[in-house]
Amino acid sequence: MNFNGPINAERVTETERDKETVVPPRRKLRGGRLAALGLALVAGTALAAGAWSHYSERRQVLATAAETRNFVPEVRVATVVPSANIDIVRLPATTSAFASANIFARASGYIATRAVDIGDHVKTGQLLAEIVAPELDHQIAQAEATLAQLNSALQQAQANRELAKVTWDRDRPLVDKGWLTAQQGTIDEQTLKAQEAAAQVAQANIKAEEAQLLVLRQQKLYQRVVAPFDGVITQRNVDVGSLVQADTTSGTFMFTLQQGNVIRTQVFVPQDAAFGLKPGIAAVVRVPEIPDRTFPGTVTRIADALQPGSRTLLTEVDIPNPDAALTSGIYCTVELHIPRKTPSYRISADAVIFNANGTQVAVVENGVAHLRKIGVLRDLGSELEVDSGVRTGDQVILNPSVDLAEGARVQTKPKTTVS
């Protein structure tokens, strides 16, 4: 069923009825004016609101700019203090014995007695080992017999010389008077000279044999190996029955003896501290495994030249060790108390500025910040040691802001002194 026909007819009728209704002209004009007035009022209100908002924002910007321009930040400062007159330098080191000797065999033979072992403390002259060599005893006996034979030969030569002298003394007056021929006189004179030379040769042979016998007897003494100084045996390479050789190039290495009543250590002092170093300066040795004890020492020897590769000065420190608490080969730390030769200053590490201009600090003078470059000598952790850029009593800003500029005005909080 189609319902479009009656509905459309009813709508057409109502439209035609509206067209037949007439609106008066004055009412239309008044309505238009009211609408225009409303639109104008709305537009004016919106324009006034926008202008006021812009004015308020501008005033706020100007006020912020003025506040920023007149704002003086408050900063914390620390006072620069001079470094102490004594520069304490701590360096790693290794202990060593004051004296150390490798004992070699000076006589060939077999070990008959070994009187010491590793760790034994010995005194000067104490027997370490004894070497037996029967053939050496035979050589000594042979040399003594040869010496006795040479002494007999000397006596014979002296007797012949005396006989020749007596003969010449008797024949010389006879030759002078012509009772004996000149030839006989020449024979007697030359015979005396020959006997005198033979006696001198016999004496020289005796001296040579005595020297050889002295060498053999000295080798006999070397069969007793004794300690050259007080110390402790730290190495042993022989035992009873071991064969030892006395060759000068391949002699048998028997013992190592170290003197431990004084311990020596060597340290390499950097160039910046080496110029104040000299013998007699106090030192303190610390061992990590003995934390409750320090070992005082003294600088005894220094090299005259710095190592060209590391720019360090070789320094020896002697540490008394009467109770043998220290041994050689221990890792330790040596603390040197070196008089300072060049002035320096200490500043807080929080005051350092790192930027494209290098290492700087900000120093406050009369409420104005000034940026100064500094020369850093050493980094001490919470502090830095510097040699330029600051003076004693300067106020350096701690934790300065990244936008801090040269000449900026600041005000300081209560001061903090670097101790």
411: containing domain: 344-417
Q: Kindly state whether residue 318 falls inside one of the protein's structural domains.
A: no
The 10s digit of each residue's pLDDT in 250-272 is 788 999 999 989 999 999 998 87
Q: Which CATH number does the domain housing residue 350 bear?
A: 2.40.420.20
- State percent of the chain over pLDDT 70: 87
The mean of the pLDDT values for the chain is 84
Q: Kindly state whether residue 87 falls inside one of the protein's structural domains.
A: no
3-class SS of residue 356? coil
Q: Kindly state whether residue 248 falls inside one of the protein's structural domains.
A: no
The 10s digit of each residue's pLDDT in 334-344 is 999 988 777 78
Q: Pick from 149, 153, 150: which is nearest to 195 by CA?
A: 153
Residue 59 has pLDDT above 60, yes or no: yes
- Domain end (from 185, 204, 226): 226
Between 107-116, 169-178, 319-328, the lowest mean confidence (pLDDT) is in 169-178
Residues contacting 132, CB < 8 A, separation 6+: 109, 110, 112, 223
Q: With bands split at pLDDT 50, 70 and 90, how would you rate the model's confidence at 64?
A: low
Residue 168 has pLDDT above 90, yes or no: no
Using CB atoms within 10 A of its CB, is residue 224 exposed (0-12), middle (13-18) or buried (19+)?
Answer: middle
- Domain end (from 172, 197, 226): 226
Q: Kindly state whether residue 260 falls inside one of the protein's structural domains.
A: no
Between 33-37, 137-141, 330-334, the lowest mean confidence (pLDDT) is in 33-37
pTM: 0.56
Q: With bands split at pLDDT 50, 70 and 90, how would you rate the model's confidence at 107?
A: confident
Residue 368 has pLDDT above 50, yes or no: yes
Q: Kindly state whether residue 261 falls inside one of the protein's structural domains.
A: no
Residues contacting 22, CB < 8 A, separation 6+: none
Using CB atoms within 10 A of its CB, is residue 343 exposed (0-12), middle (13-18) or buried (19+)?
Answer: exposed
End-to-end CA distance of the chain: 109
- Domain end (from 226, 250, 279): 226
Q: Kindly state whether residue 56 falls inside one of the protein's structural domains.
A: no
Q: Kindly state whether residue 300 falls inside one of the protein's structural domains.
A: no
Residue type, 140: I
Rounded average pLDDT over 221-239: 92
- Work out how many domains the chain is built from and give that number: 2
Q: Kindly state whether residue 210 falls inside one of the protein's structural domains.
A: yes
Question: DSSP H helical segments within 131-224, as ranges?
Answer: 134-177, 182-222
Residue type, 411: Q
Q: How far apart are CA 163 and CA 193, in angstroms?
A: 12
Residue 29: the pLDDT is 58
Residue 68: the pLDDT is 56
